[in-house]
């Protein structure tokens, strides 16, 4: 008798979903679909994000099963050494405008997938496409797959896209629906060009169509509106946007006849990319480097600049551009950053080691050694453990405050697109972006701190192996295993 084919998988990524707020939404009766899934499945309330804990980096980890050291997306804003220019994926509308709206959209829609994301890795879509499975994706930052899609659709938004010269084809999941720019078929759903507040509904509309017509084995069901809402009102306000995300899940399950009928032939994963914490203070990184020649977004003489500064919410990166003075300038940049209020961790690399500076001291570490972390990797650690609030005992290193600190920092340092100096903001602080925008009074994320980093992983209908600490990068391998497709290779 042939083996029963695996259930179809829906991977719902709720941007910024904070575990405490999911619990609150369920308790208040505002998230019945998520409540039903939590009741029937396995709930991990502390699945660790990447560092920096920002959406492009975490999305790429979710889609590839690897950290930035391998997938090569370093942050939301970064400096491209090869092209000698800033890349801005859309920290805010003013930030995108600073670098040019079309350029920023181009980098986000095309270059992130086709140029910046490492070719040495396969995305979960590429793995499944190669195995002959039917992949589908609603508007998600990482969509790279094996099917060519020309810009399509006839809505007025598509015409706006065309006027902005979004004419190029992409390679994506077999079914790709991306903010009205790519529509692999006519579902009748529109996203108003991906405007906040409309995006979860677009995903729901497309998802319901795909379920109804049985068009996927794997669907990445992207629910980004929670992030926007939480940035504006703060993470305590998430119940309202989680309720919206819940409605989207309810809608696709309704097509199959309700939760239990849906779960008969679908497995469901609900996860966060990262979490959020409250912003109480804004800091302008430019003030810390006032006396330096910092590369401006449209610098007339870029070769004169000493530094590029890349604020990305509650994280930031500093690039030393003056190659001749590189060795002398990096320590000076570290010192300037470390003395700046609002900067918690200053991380750089020296002599093959990671060097972490905080007000609590200096710690150096490198892979390989006598100390194991909760994810089973081993390290050599020297200096002040307090710098990362690291608890080292019985051959194990753990940090409650900075979960998976060593592994995440090392991966960030290994990313060839990362800056020379990486910064993680103190609790309550956010770096003002290049457009002058911040989320003061609202919420943000990006730091190594657990408040930004611990998200939801909720699985229903998938086997969950025993593991001490889960990371967003563990999900792609789980999905592949479910379909009996080999990870890697
Ligand atoms: Zn965000």
Please indicate, yes or no, whether residues 236 and 285 belong to a single structural domain of this protein.
Answer: no
Name, in order, each residue with C-beta under 8 angstroms of 168's C-beta and a sequence gap of 6 or more.
Answer: 110, 151
If you measure from the C-alpha of residue 396 to the centroid of ligand 1, how many angstroms do you get, rounded to a whole number? 33
Per residue in 243-267, pLDDT (tens digit) is: 999 999 999 999 999 999 999 999 9
The average confidence (pLDDT) of the chain is 94
Please indicate, yes or no, whether residues 247 and 233 belong to a single structural domain of this protein.
Answer: yes
Per residue in 453-471, pLDDT (tens digit) is: 999 999 999 988 889 999 9
Please indicate, yes or no, whether residues 347 and 225 belong to a single structural domain of this protein.
Answer: no
In this model, does residue 157 exceed pLDDT 80?
no
Six token digits for residue 425: 């903001």
If you measure from the C-alpha of residue 455 to the centroid of ligand 1, how many angstroms do you get, rounded to a whole number? 13
Please indicate, yes or no, whether residues 267 and 296 belong to a single structural domain of this protein.
Answer: no
If you measure from the C-alpha of residue 332 to the centroid of ligand 1, how many angstroms do you get, rounded to a whole number? 31
Per residue in 98-135, pLDDT (tens digit) is: 999 889 989 999 999 999 999 999 999 999 999 999 99
Nearest to 374 by CA among 332, 405, 415: 405
Please indicate, yes or no, whether residues 161 and 253 belong to a single structural domain of this protein.
Answer: yes
Whether the model clears a pTM of 0.85, i.e. scores above it, the answer is yes
Please indicate, yes or no, whether residues 246 and 334 belong to a single structural domain of this protein.
Answer: no
CA 264 to chain centre: 30
Separation of alpha carbons 306 and 55, rounded Å: 28
Please indicate, yes or no, whether residues 50 and 121 belong to a single structural domain of this protein.
Answer: yes
Six token digits for residue 238: 């998430």
In a domain, 353, yes or no: yes
Per residue in 353-371, pLDDT (tens digit) is: 999 999 999 999 999 999 9
Determine the pLDDT at residue 98: 95
If you measure from the C-alpha of residue 476 to the centroid of ligand 1, how many angstroms do you get, rounded to a whole number? 22
Give residue 199's domain range: 8-73+117-277+449-482
CATH of the domain at 239: 3.40.720.10
In this model, does residue 1 exceed pLDDT 50?
no
Q: How confident is the model at residue 193 (pLDDT cuts 50, 70, 90)?
A: low
In a domain, 289, yes or no: yes
Determine the pLDDT at residue 134: 98
What's the mean pLDDT in 155-165? Answer: 67
Q: How confident is the model at residue 153 (pLDDT cuts 50, 70, 90)?
A: low
Per residue in 383-441, pLDDT (tens digit) is: 999 999 999 999 999 999 999 999 999 999 999 999 999 999 999 999 999 999 999 99
Q: How confident is the model at residue 156 (pLDDT cuts 50, 70, 90)?
A: low
If you measure from the C-alpha of residue 273 to the centroid of ligand 1, how many angstroms do you get, rounded to a whole number? 9
The helix (run of H) or strand (run of E) holding residue 308 is strand 307-312
The helix (run of H) or strand (run of E) holding residue 481 is helix 475-482
In a domain, 101, yes or no: no
What's the domain count of the chain?
Answer: 2
Please indicate, yes or no, whether residues 392 and 434 belong to a single structural domain of this protein.
Answer: yes
In a domain, 338, yes or no: yes
Please indicate, yes or no, whether residues 269 and 408 belong to a single structural domain of this protein.
Answer: no
Burial of 168 (0-12, 13-18, 19+ CB in 10 A): exposed
What's the mean pLDDT in 32-44? Answer: 97
Nearest to 135 by CA among 220, 43, 214, 201: 220
Name, in order, each residue with C-beta under 8 angstroms of 1's C-beta and a sequence gap of 6 or more.
Answer: none
Please indicate, yes or no, whether residues 219 and 297 belong to a single structural domain of this protein.
Answer: no
If you measure from the C-alpha of residue 227 to the centroid of ligand 1, how many angstroms do you get, rounded to a whole number? 5
Please, which residues bridge with residue 430 across strands? 282
Determine the pLDDT at residue 166: 74
Q: How confident is the model at residue 151 (pLDDT cuts 50, 70, 90)?
A: confident
If you measure from the C-alpha of residue 173 to the centroid of ligand 1, how many angstroms do you get, rounded to a whole number? 24
């Amino acid at each position: 008798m042939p083996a029963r084919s695996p259930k179809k998988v829906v991977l719902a990524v709720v941007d910024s979903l904070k575990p405490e707020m999911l619990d609150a939404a369920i308790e208040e009766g505002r998230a019945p679909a998520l409540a039903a899934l939590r009741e029937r499945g396995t709930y991990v309330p502390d699945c660790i994000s990447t560092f920096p804990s920002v959406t492009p980096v975490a999305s790429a980890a979710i889609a590839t099963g690897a950290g930035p050291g391998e997938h090569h997306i370093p942050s939301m804003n970064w400096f491209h050494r090869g092209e000698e220019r800033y890349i801005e994926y859309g920290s805010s509308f003013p930030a995108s405008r600073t670098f040019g709206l079309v350029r920023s959209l181009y980098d986000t829609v095309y270059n992130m997938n086709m140029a910046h994301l490492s070719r040495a890795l396969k995305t979960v879509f590429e793995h499944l496409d190669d195995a002959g499975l039917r992949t589908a994706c609603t508007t998600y930052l990482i969509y790279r797959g094996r099917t060519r899609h020309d810009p399509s659709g006839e809505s007025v938004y598509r015409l706006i896209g065309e006027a902005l010269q979004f004419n190029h084809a992409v390679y994506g999941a077999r079914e790709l629906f991306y903010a009205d720019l790519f529509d692999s078929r006519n579902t009748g759903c529109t996203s108003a060009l991906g405007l906040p507040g409309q995006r979860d509904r677009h995903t729901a509309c497309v998802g319901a169509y795909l379920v109804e017509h049985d068009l996927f084995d794997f669907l990445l069901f992207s629910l980004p509106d929670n992030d926007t809402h939480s940035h504006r009102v703060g993470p305590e306000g998430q119940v309202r946007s989680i309720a919206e995300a819940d409605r989207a899940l309810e809608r696709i399950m309704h097509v199959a006849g309700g939760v239990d009928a849906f779960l008969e032939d679908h497995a469901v994963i609900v996860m966060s990319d990262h979490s959020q914490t409250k912003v109480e203070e804004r800091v302008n990184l430019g003030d810390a480097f006032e006396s330096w020649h910092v590369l401006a977004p449209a610098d007339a003489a870029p070769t004169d600049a000493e530094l590029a500064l890349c604020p990305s919410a509650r994280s930031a990166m500093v690039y030393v551009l003056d190659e001749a003075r590189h060795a002398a300038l990096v320590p000076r940049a570290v010192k300037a950053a470390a003395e700046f209020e609002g900067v918690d961790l200053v991380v750089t690399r020296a002599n093959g080691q990671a060097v972490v500076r905080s007000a609590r001291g200096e710690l150096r570490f490198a892979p390989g050694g006598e100390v194991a972390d909760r994810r089973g990797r081993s390290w050599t650690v020297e200096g002040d453990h307090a710098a990362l609030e690291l608890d080292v005992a019985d051959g194990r290193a753990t940090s409650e405050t900075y979960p998976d600190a060593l592994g995440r920092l090392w991966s960030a340092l290994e990313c060839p697109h990362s800056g020379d100096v990486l910064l993680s903001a103190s609790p309550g602080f956010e770096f003002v972006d290049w457009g002058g925008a911040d989320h003061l009074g609202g919420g943000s994320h990006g730091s190594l701190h657990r408040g930004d980093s611990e998200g939801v992983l909720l699985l229903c209908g998938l086997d969950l192996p025993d593991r001490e600490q889960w990371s967003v990068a563990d999900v792609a391998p789980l999905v592949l295993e479910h379909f009996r497709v080999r990870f890697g290779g």
